[in-house]
A and B are shown apart, each in its own frame.
Chain A
């Protein structure tokens, strides 16, 4: 299967600080998806990016797809305690979803 790596694995931030997680694929992706999983919960779909260089925003969240379509990032501005959880990118190629390794975000009040 595909190799989708994310960095960092863990991130602790003070509330109000920014946060970024990076997703890197060993191959060119057709699309990329992002999910959030709260502690004890199940993954929840956030967004799908399709185009090279695409940037999408959802309130304080900014998603970007690399020009070569081999990497992506999720940036959260001014984190809040509700942002706590693990963020996964996923490669939905051929409806076989390969999830990245995930970044666990802890927000310190």
Chain B
């Protein structure tokens, strides 16, 4: 059972455009949602994260929008740069439970930013 789903599987945007990456989840207990960025040959690196008590989290060009009722969130990357070309993973965990440390990852979205 895929608890965290991402779409699209791949996305191509022009430099300067806004890239929108989507994520949905099934487990209502999930209340912490980090996004990770992964370049080829490297491990994932935390980009930005949101807790379910918030509906928006901003960090520079990266913004998470969160809809708890629909169990959906999205990552918006404004003014996309070629250096943003990477795979982005949405992940989820349940802070309130004893398995707080247990992250469940989606399948990833491969983003290409064309100059």
Pairing of A with B? no
